[in-house]
Amino acid sequence: MILVIFMVFMTLIARMTYLQWFNHEKYLSRADGNRISVQTLPPQRGHIFDRNQVLLAGSVSNYKLSFRRENIIQFDSTFEQLKTLFPEIESSLLDEFSQTLRRTPRHRDLALPYSLTEKQAAIFAAQRFRFPGVTLQAQLKRTYPLESSGVHFLGYVGRISQNDLQRLDARRYRGTEVTGKIGIERAYEDRLHGYPGLQTVESNAQGRVVRILDTIAPKQGENITLTIDSRLQRFIEEKLGDRRAAVVAISPLNGEILALVSTPTYDPNLFVDGINHTNYNALINNPNKPLINRAIRGQYPPGSTTKPFVALGALEQGAITMTERIFDPGYFEFQGHRYRNWRRQGHGWTDLKRSIVESVDTFYYKMSLDIGIDGLNSMLSPFGFGERTGIDIPGEASGILPSQEWKRATHGEPWYRGETIIASIGQGYNLVTPIQLAQATAILANRGRIIQPHLLKSENSDIQNFIDPTSELDRSDQIPIRSRNHWEYVIQGMIDSVHTPRGTAWNAGRHINDYQIAGKTGTAQVFSLHDTDFNADELDPRLHSHSLFIAFAPASNPKIAIAVIAENAGSGGRVAAPIAIETIDYYLKELDKP
């Protein structure tokens, strides 16, 4: 018996020696691994300000519930208790999240996409003992204090998707749940995101942190300032209301975008935690398509807003003179087809300036046959028509500036001269975006000096081709000018369009007396009734013409250029021109102050 006890005792000593002496490091390491862990500290996202340091996007503290599956004792019971504790959280959200959590690795933390209020966080803290495996985490949440204002250029952040993971640096995004999806948030993601930190912590058996052993602080994302004036942005948005419309206001001095409006709008805060099905369906099924950024993606026939550019090109290329006149009987006949002027009785004998002031279609019908479609293309392309402006947010459309080559390549057909007649008044294949129209107007205001539209107002801007307004321009920055008088002649026609009784924008601009606005109306048809008479009131509203207006002011020393397009709103002089002129007046008198 004594021998047996001795043998057992010796075995225990041998085992203890083996563990303590020969495997001390191995089991010490395993023990540390169980209670010491490294946590990622996500960086604070940089703030976004307007040109006057008004906060457009920031971060606020909030709380979230984080789940670790391996520590949850009763899965179904946990979620049923949460539904009882927080009836304000949609059951469908909890059900969907529980299914996601079941597919998540047992040791990985997963946060519920719902932000708790201070009161909700306090309630959970008091009931924490009922939820093993669920912890309360304080974090920073993206917020957009101006809500729907400016959403189309600002964009929003949303939860990182599988597609996002393919383009994002996994190490840099450890512990981060959201990334920029569209707009500025997407374009400047690299600057805004920052770099994560690390924290080594000691936890007890329940997984609660009892001691912080080491910390490497995260690096906050860069704050950025935009060229936007949020007061002007809000002013225009209120003018447009729920219209389907777009307005771009730009500084001709340096290409800074002062306002970029697309309506209707929506609240970007809906996307931060992950938009629910009800809200998302309401947005995508809205017939007015609020998710579309009409300012850079909407493509519209420019209508008569192209007439100043065509007129200038015709003068510069010698296709017409400033004194030459054409008789307008109210129509132009070509190959048996009658192309009508907007005024059925015609304008009589008309020179080029009057054709701008009163928007005489017939003048351009006849002139275009002498110029040809490729001539029109060469006149308009230097102003940026048919090409993306390169604005520093993604998703811009290119518009269409037709030519013989374009039609052969696109439609496999030759160009017909009748199409040139239509193209001369901005119809047919012609399509422009509002940002293109604003850029072209700014170049005209600059007497040919080309500017690059941009939203980032930063001295260290890395925007390609950014033009410093104080720098000396090279040839690529300036449209060649054969005669400065040609430019002033056309601009005077635009001034008379606003400031003389015969002008198509006279009613909208007649109250402006202390400075001059150069403008041009446009009314673009969205379908053709040929020569048939019709009652506009009986048409489907979606078939009414688009209302357009371009302008810059003061005409002699431009500080703002603007393009307005209101879908299916009718005459440019009746709808678009008043919006543009009121915007210009507000900017020059209330905002453009030292």
Q: Exposed (0-12), middle (13-18) or buried (19+): which is 476, by Cβ within 10 Å?
A: exposed
- The answer to whether 496 touches 357, Cβ cutoff 8 Å, is yes
Contacts of 469 (CB under 8 A, 6+ apart): 253, 254
- Where do runs of H (alpha helix) occur along 285-433? 294-297, 307-316, 352-357, 361-371, 373-380, 404-411, 417-423
Is residue 236 within 8 A of residue 265, CB to CB? The reply is no
Q: Report the alpha-carbon distance of residue 429 to residue 406 in Å, rounded.
A: 10
Phi-psi region of 124 (alpha: psi -120 to 50; beta: other; left: phi over 0): alpha
Name the phi and psi angles at 358, rounded to 5. -105, 5
**In this structure, what token pair is assigned to residue 566?**
């209101």
Q: Supply the DSSP string of 104-152, one letter for each residue.
A: S-TT-EEE-S-PBPHHHHHHHHHTGGG-TTEEEEEEEEEE-TTTTTTHH
Q: How many CB atoms lie within 10 A of CB 547?
A: 28
Active site residue 304: yes
* Sign of the CA dihedral running 505, 507, 511, 513: positive
3-class SS of residue 37: strand
What CA–CA distance (Å, rounded) separates 108 from 453?
45
Report d(CA 243, CA 159) in Å as an integer. Answer: 30
Residue among 148, 149, 304, 359 flagged as catalytic: 304
What residues pair up with 49 in beta bridges, in sequence order?
Answer: 55, 225
* Structure tokens that stand for 163 in this block: 């597609």
Catalytic residues: 304
